[in-house]
Amino acid sequence: MATEVIEHRAYARIGFLGNPSDVYFGRTIAFSLGNFWASVKLEPSEQLLIVPHPTHDLVHFDSLTHLVNRLQTDGYYGGVRLLMAICRIFHRHCKDNGISLHERNFTLSYDTNIPRQTGLSGSSAIVCAALSCLLDFYQVRNLIKVEVRPNLILNAEKELGIVAGLQDRVAQVYGGLVYMDFDKKRMEELGHGEYTVMDLNLLPPLYLIYAENPSDSGKVHSTVRQRWLNGDQFIISTMEEVANIALEGRTALIEKDYAKLATLMNRNFDLRRQMFGDEALGALNIEMVEVARRVGAASKFTGSGGAVVVFCPEGPSQAKLLEDACKTAGFAFQPVQVVPSFLNEIDLGTISKR
């Protein structure tokens, strides 16, 4: 009987190569970013309670001006809606699949240090950590396959109108460095892609740049998605090229061909820019990429904007130049910390063998 306090952490993620082709039956490589995370705590309780975060779900203000300024910087949404949505999706999945759940109640609370609207998957990290808590509280970790869990997280976000693909949720469920193939036939047959955990030591030293006052990363996919659905050949062929970057990148990583890797990173961003256009990407986001390129580094978005992942092929001296340039430009700069895969034996036992 699960009576103890359960707590799980899910990390931010970096879409390294191939994004955003995960939404278009493509391929991507992504990894867990140890610099930032969300944590969710589940405590058994008499009634079911979702606890608002004292900062992110603020409902008490000093004044009307304080309220308006807060909405300007943080928007209307905190994490309570995310916790409620995953509870609903989890319950529905269990009901639809004949998984029985006990009737005991719990209290859910959360915390996060993932910077908002930086394209680092802050929302899905909260949902992912909450799902892990529910799996353990109801003791059904062995009954819900690892491959299916990213879909549950994405479905919870879709309930709230969040526009996204599976890549981020896969990276957060699996942890570590993951190669993903979202082949259309497989997706339609099984509902998920083929996910392969890679050796973290294949990655070179990487750096993260992000804006302190970023744009909304959830709005950037929209026009390209519609054009793709409408059969726009430029979008379709360019997205296929983006997907192939992940395939080439996997080989480059395995062979530790970092010159090739730098070329692929830059090409990934250039193709995104051609598809979305500068207006959709935003001047601030483009400047983050350019600030890295001006010192000769390779750079691309981590997601849809707000943060950039950088590789400095010339090493620490180049990274120092980049750090100084970011300071001048007003961007935050950090070395990337990568978190290894945290799937346990029960999780691994649920993974399909085909």
Q: Is 188 exposed, middle or buried (0-12, 13-18, 19+ CB in 10 A)?
A: exposed
274/271 Cα distance (integer angstroms):
5
Indicate the DSSP class of residue 62.
S
131/40 Cα distance (integer angstroms):
9
291 Cβ contact list (under 8 Å, min separation 6): 209, 322, 325, 326, 329, 331
Q: What is the length of the chain?
A: 354
Residues of CATH 3.30.70.890 domain(s) within the chain?
205-335
Average pLDDT, integer, range 74-101: 90
Computed from CA positions of residues 276, 307, 204, 30, in that sequence, does the dihedral angle turn out positive or negative? negative
Note the pLDDT of residue 75: 67
Higher per-residue pLDDT: 226 or 16 = 16
**Architecture of the domain whose range is 205-335:** 2-Layer Sandwich (3.30)
19/296 Cα distance (integer angstroms):
22
- Tell me: pLDDT of 121 over 90: no
Angular region, 174: left φ>0, alpha ψ -120 to 50, beta rest: alpha
Strands 105-112 and 177-181, by their bridges, are unpaired
Q: Which of 185-189, 256-260, 315-319 has the lowest mean pLDDT?
A: 185-189
Q: Which of 170, 195, 233 is nearest to 32 (CA)?
A: 170
Mean pLDDT of the chain: 91
Indicate the DSSP class of residue 112.
E
Phi, psi of 77 (to 5 degrees): -110, 130
Average pLDDT, integer, range 90-108: 96
Q: Which of 120-124, 127-131, 179-183, 204-208 has the lowest mean pLDDT?
A: 120-124
Note the pLDDT of residue 300: 97
Residues of CATH 3.30.230.10 domain(s) within the chain?
6-60+67-201
Fold of 6-60+67-201: Ribosomal Protein S5; domain 2 (3.30.230)
Given pLDDT bands bounded at 50, 70 and 90, which one contains residue 117? confident
Of the listed 22, 111, 168, 347, which one is catalytic? Answer: 168
- Tell me: pLDDT of 152 over 70: yes
Place of tokens 């993932």: 114
- Tell me: pLDDT of 354 over 60: no
Note the pLDDT of residue 192: 92
- Tell me: pLDDT of 278 over 60: yes
Average pLDDT, integer, range 24-40: 96
Q: Which of 205, 192, 244, 225 is nearest to 304 (CA)?
A: 225
87/127 Cα distance (integer angstroms):
9
Given pLDDT bands bounded at 50, 70 and 90, which one contains residue 218? very low
Q: Assess whether 183 carries a catalytic annotation.
A: no
For the chain, the 3-state helix, strand and coil shares in percent, each to the nearest 5, are 45, 20, 35
235/230 Cα distance (integer angstroms):
10
- Tell me: pLDDT of 124 over 60: yes
